[in-house]
Structure 1
Amino acid sequence: MLENKIILGSEEWCSFPELGIPAIKARVDSGAKTSALHAINITPFVKDSENWVKFDINPIQNNLKTVIHCEAKLIDKRIVKSSSGFREQRYVIQSKIKIGTQDWEIEMTLTNRDSMGFRMLLGREAMSGRILVDPEQKYLLGQTSTEQLKEFYINSTQLKSGLRIGLLASNPELYSNRRIMEAGEMRGHEMHFLNIKECYMKLDADKPEIHYRGGKILDYFDAVIPRIRPSMTFYGCALTRQFEAMKVFCLNSAGAITQSRDKLYSLQLLLHHGVDIPTTGFANSPLDTDDLIKMVGGSPLIVKLLEGTQGKGVVLAETKKAAESVINAFKSLNANILVQEFIKEANGKDLRLFVVDGKVVATIQREAAAGEFRANIHMGGTASIIKPTADEKRIAIKAAKAMDLKVAGVDIIRSSKGPLLLEVNSSPGLEGIEGATNKDIAGEMIKAIEKNFKWK
């Protein structure tokens, strides 16, 4: 009967008590079949032998600091066509919606609605038999003011438990740094970008200090995320050690970063922990070039300048003559070099496994662009999702643990002898792997910091 139905405008406020969402603005759209709720960091899991899903939501449009962590029983997975014609597979949950004084169970899909005007879309399936829509009206059941929203969300655990986190790096515009800042703010933390070059320190046994531009003393941080470019390793690690002396939790320690940047020592350390690497020779401007080449199985082989950074100083020598020429060129520099066997069957591909707090959170396969060679770091080429084997995951976790890194990019190559480790990166980039996998790796880094502070 018409008299028993609720009349709504095209926009209304509603709530989801079971999800802990006290107020969210909804677009009431009878043209849409399915309801949809904004969600990020969507992760399925098993609870009491049933399939559930957990997700985060920023319930207020254009407000990334207010975050609600939700979980609900998973009832379905569906292919949904968006208003733009894009098809995507979405998780479907069921929860009680409350509008005005009435509440009832509805189904809704979970999807990122950052680009949309509303965090919630109420479709006709949820309205059937209960609602009439007057598209010319808005907020017929009441408007929620900014003051009310503050009251609703001021006591959320996310706001109460926010940490002060510093990102120690060089370039605030770098994708990885922007994502980490965003991820921290979205989880309710106070984020500060600290430019390495603008920090200076006071060495004192009783009261060590770090000062920032203008003489500001940095004595209020709970945690620091060091993202140190290779050229700033010495000073960046000195600052990280100073933060550690001030009892600030550092996501990667100065000692771990320092040893990861020493190519020779890091390989020796990994071998000591039982991690296999390609056969490698090391020399300081060798006199016996011929024996060094034989040591790693002859040509083709890879020659690396030990002090090289970001893929520079890495050469593929396809013949013995080419290898001798490259090695002799480095001899003239009196340089330390690594000579490493070339894994032909890898066909220019390697894997990057991203490890956070002892877990592999994402993996991609990287392939060099046609006609190009990239060793360890692919500055070009393509990245694609790939499922690592149990052995590859085990190696990546063991490597990060051996280097004492909570965050690491572990590069592995597949060979006829099994997976071999190429390199462990203590400041791995996020752009390629987040873009390929669509995973919130920056959020995983923030979660690793939160885990350390649970005792508080």
Structure 2
Amino acid sequence: MLKNDSDKIIVGSEEWCAFPALGIPAIKARVDSGAKTSSIHAFNIHPFSRGGTPWVSFEIHPIQKERRTVVRCEAQIVDRRLVKSSTGISEKRYVIRTPLDFAGETWDIELTLANRDSMGYRMLLGREAMSGRMLVDPSESHRYGSRRTNDEVRALYGKHEQKSTGLKIGVLASNPDLYSNQRILEAGEERGHQMKFLNIKHCYMKLDAETPEIHYRGGRILNDLDAVIPRIRPSMTFYGCALTRQFESVGIYPLNSSQSISMSRDKLFSLQLLLSSGLDIPTTGFANSPIDTADLIDMVGGAPLIVKLLQGTQGRGVVLAETRKAAESVIGAFKSLKANLLVQEFVKEADGKDLRLFVIDNRVVASMQRTAAPGEFRANVHQGGSTSVIKITADERKLAIKAAKTLGLKVAGVDIIRSRKGPLLLEVNSSPGLEGIENATGKDIAGQMISAIEKKLGWRRPLGTMPEDPEMLLDEELA
């Protein structure tokens, strides 16, 4: 029922909402009259059919910046709608209708289901839900319900903590506090898996024909894992790949194999493999002796050119030589240190920009453009560069997928530049960072990595609260 302005509820910029039909007694919402439709955080979204009617089951983390509390929900699907996110990306989302309890009143509103883990709020209250009932005063907040701590909100949910009933998955890496490693652990836990961070330096191996083993500091044997996700820093490539091979030898599935990681880390070998598969790269030269420097410079078209250390990573060990004299000086300096290097043509029209395409299980699941910081020639977020969402071409998509396949990588960050000749492949990273691309695109990349393991091992999440009804079959068309 529509109200006069004097009777409307005055709300602030953020308010507490409740959805009794979904089992959500309190969730903090960002009040946004600029958004048409309301949205709520949802993951593990599974469409199904009940009595011939489309329904959806999903899970919610209702508490800000907290993943331990999980509420499982079911609702009838009223629509599947194309929605543009705040990052400018359009995606199809399921739409449900459910009663909203607010300020002592109850009315039905529509909610789109979207993973909002990268957003500031687990819910957004849009203008359709407020129309005829609310007025917004952006200078205020929590007009209905005082500010609450996470502990106070958690008490409202009782025992809703996620139980680990799924796969046993190890993250083989060096830094447990790194954003990418944290996100992978969280993504696995929220899907009900038992996640374990494994420090590469704390692992050791027993090589034995009958009982090969991997041990962890303190004597724990790791042979009971179902899968490992290698996240090996360049300085640990040799030992990290040896450990990954050991996991493979005892039947534990690695998301990226030891062989694929080894190939990707050898820049010269990987470029040779990519070229043999018909993939285009910038013209590149390699020589072992500084005596051949002049010819090396000429073979890539002369200065300006790029000099790269074979062992460099994240933009380190990459130098732009703008003149022939500068190129000779840089190459000579690196060679005097007995460092192996590549020289590569400088693609001026790239204008300090490159593309990072994230490939999982032979699909490009996300892409972004990286732009160099002022005064820099190379796009690198680790050196002050910026990121933005970009639409890639069909050729760029094919190039990224074929590059990952060539090196045998299930997960890869493929770097591409745009040139007059078309897209050129720069590098393929076997342990790509997640922070930049998740923040730029708003996509749950870590969750898709876990899904790739589930698919490979044939694991399906139990539908739990959904009744065992023969009519409740997953609708693949809706999915």
Shared topology, TM-score over 0.5?
yes
User: Which one of the candidate residues 283, 286, 297 is aligned to 1:282?
Assistant: 286
In the alignment, the residues of structure 1 paired with residue 211 and residue 417 of structure 2 have an alpha-carbon distance, to the nearest angstrom, of 47
Name which of 12, 20, 30 aligns with 1:14: 20
Question: Residues 418 and 217 from structure 1, CA distance in 2 versus in 1: closer, same or farther, beyond 3 angstroms?
Answer: same
Q: Provide the secondary structure at the position in 2 that maps to 1:288.
A: helix
CA distance in 2, matches of 1:186, 1:315: 42
Q: SS at the partner of 2:205?
A: strand
Aligned residues of 1:24 and 1:120 also touching (Cα < 8 A): no
Q: Would you say how many aligned residue pairs link Structure 1 and Structure 2?
A: 409
What code does the residue aligned with 1:108 have? L
Matched, 1:174 2:202: no
Contact 2:28 2:122 in 1 (8 A): no
Query: Residues 265-276 of structure 1 correspond to what in structure 2 (within 5 A)?
Result: 265-276=269-280
TM-score w.r.t. structure 1 length? 0.77
Alignment of 1:313 onto 2:317:
yes
3-state SS of 1:210 partner: strand
* Aligned residue in 1 for 2:110: 107
The TM-score with structure 2 as length reference comes to: 0.73
Equivalent residue for 1:431, pick from 432, 435, 449: 435
Report the AA paired with residue 311 of structure 1. Answer: G
Give the whole-Å Cα distance in 2 for the aligned partners of 1:296 and 1:188. Answer: 52
Q: Are 1:406 and 2:401 an aligned pair? A: no
SS of alignment partner, residue 325 of structure 1: helix
Greater relative CO, 1 or 2 (CA 8 Å, sep 6+): 2
CA–CA distance in structure 2, aligned partners of residues 348 and 397 of structure 1? 24
Q: Distance in 2 between matches of 1:41 and 1:455?
A: 17
2:98 and 2:120 map into 1 onto residues whose CA distance is 25
Deviation at residue 268 of structure 1 after TM alignment: 0.3
Contact 1:367/1:378 (<8 A) preserved: no
Instruction: Give the distance between the partners of 1:171 and 1:307, measured in 2 at CA.
Output: 20
Alpha-carbon distance, 1:40 to partner: 3.6
Q: Displacement of 1:436 after TM fit?
A: 1.0
**AA partner of residue 57 (structure 1):** E
Which residue identity is paired with 1:94? Answer: I
- For the pair 1:382 / 2:386, whether they are aligned, the reply is yes
Q: Is the 8 A contact 2:41 2:123 kept in 1?
A: no
Shift of 1:104: 10
Please give the secondary structure, in 2, of the residue aligned with 1:214: coil
Match of 2:96 in 1: 94
Percent of matched pairs sharing the same residue: 58
1:442 to 432, 437, 446: 446
- C-alpha distance in 1 between matches for 2:341 and 2:227: 37
Q: CA deviation at 1:28?
A: 12
- Relative to structure 1, is the Cα distance of residues 286 and 39 closer, same or farther in structure 2, using a 3 angstrom cutoff? same
Deviates most, 177-186 or 378-387: 378-387
**3-state SS of 2:332 partner:** helix
CA RMSD of superposed structures (Å): 4.2
Indicate yes or no: 2:244 matched with 1:240.
Answer: yes
Report the 3-state secondary structure (helix = DSSP H, G, I; strand = E; otherwise coil) of the residue aligned with 1:321: helix
C-alpha change, 1:55 and 1:307, in structure 2 (3 Å) is farther
Cα-to-partner distance string for 1:406-426 (whole Å, 9 max, x where unaligned): 110000010011000000000
SS of the aligned residue for 1:225 comes to strand
Partner AA of 2:367 in structure 1 = T
- String of CA shifts for 1:217-271, please: whole Å, max 9, x gaps: 1122111110000000011111111111111111001110011000000000001
Could you say which residue in structure 1 is the equivalent of 2:25? 25
CA shift digits 1:268-297 (9 cap, x unpaired): 000111110000111112312221111111
Conserved in 2, the CA contact under 8 Å of 1:256 and 1:403? yes
Change in 2 beyond 3 A, CA 1:55/1:206 = same
Please give the secondary structure, in 1, of the residue aligned with 2:290.
coil
Deviation at 1:96, TM superposition (A): 5.9
| CA-CA distance at 1:170 after TM superposition | 0.5
Contact 1:252–1:407 under 8 Å retained in 2: yes
Q: Is 1:394 matched up with 2:398? A: yes
Between the aligned partners of 2:74 and 2:396, the Cα distance in structure 1 is 32
- Match of residue 74 from structure 1: 79
The answer as to whether partners of 1:38 and 1:57 remain within 8 angstroms in 2 is: no
Which residue matches 1:5? none
* Aligned partner of 1:196 among 180, 193, 200: 200
Q: How does 1:37-436 map to 2 (within 5 A)?
A: 38-40=40-42, 56-58=58-60, 61=63, 62-64=66-68, 66=70, 68=72, 72-74=77-79, 93-95=95-97, 107-110=110-113, 112=116, 162-374=166-378, 379-436=383-440
Instruction: State the Cα deviation string for residues 421-448 of structure 1 (Å, max 9, x = none).
Output: 0000000011111111111111111111
> Structure 2: which 5+ residue stretches go unaligned?
1-15, 134-143, 146-153, 461-479
SS in 2 for 1:284: coil
Counterpart of 1:14, as a letter, is: P
Q: 1:256 is matched by which residue type in structure 2?
A: S
Q: Distance in 2 between matches of 1:329 and 1:265?
A: 23
Instruction: Check whether the contact 1:65–1:186 (CA below 8 A) recurs between aligned residues.
Output: no
| Counterpart-to-counterpart distance in 2, 1:92 and 1:289 | 60
Q: Deviations over 1:336-395 (max 9, x none)?
A: 221111001101111000111111111111111111133777532111110110000000
Cα distance in 1 for residues equivalent to 2:89 and 2:270: 43
Give, in angstroms, the shift of residue 70 of structure 1.
6.9
Aligned residue number for residue 4 of structure 1:
none
Bigger shift: residues 113-122 or 283-292 = 113-122
Q: Distance in 2 between matches of 1:453 and 1:182?
A: 20
Aligned-partner Cα distance in 1 for 2:396–2:220: 46
Between 1:310-319 and 1:194-203, the stretch displaced more is 310-319
Query: How far did residue 335 of structure 1 move?
Result: 3.0
Report the Cα offset of residue 177 of structure 1. Answer: 0.8
Q: Which moved more, 1:378-387 or 1:430-439?
A: 378-387
Supply the distance in 1 between the matched residues of 2:228 and 2:174 (Cα, whole angstroms). Answer: 14
Paired with 1:384 and 1:117, the residues of 2 have a C-alpha distance of 23
Aligned to 2:13: none
State the 1:331 CA deviation. Answer: 2.5
Structure 2 CA distance for partners of 1:242 and 1:305, relative to 1, 3 Å: same
Q: Is the 8 A contact 2:411 2:449 kept in 1?
A: yes
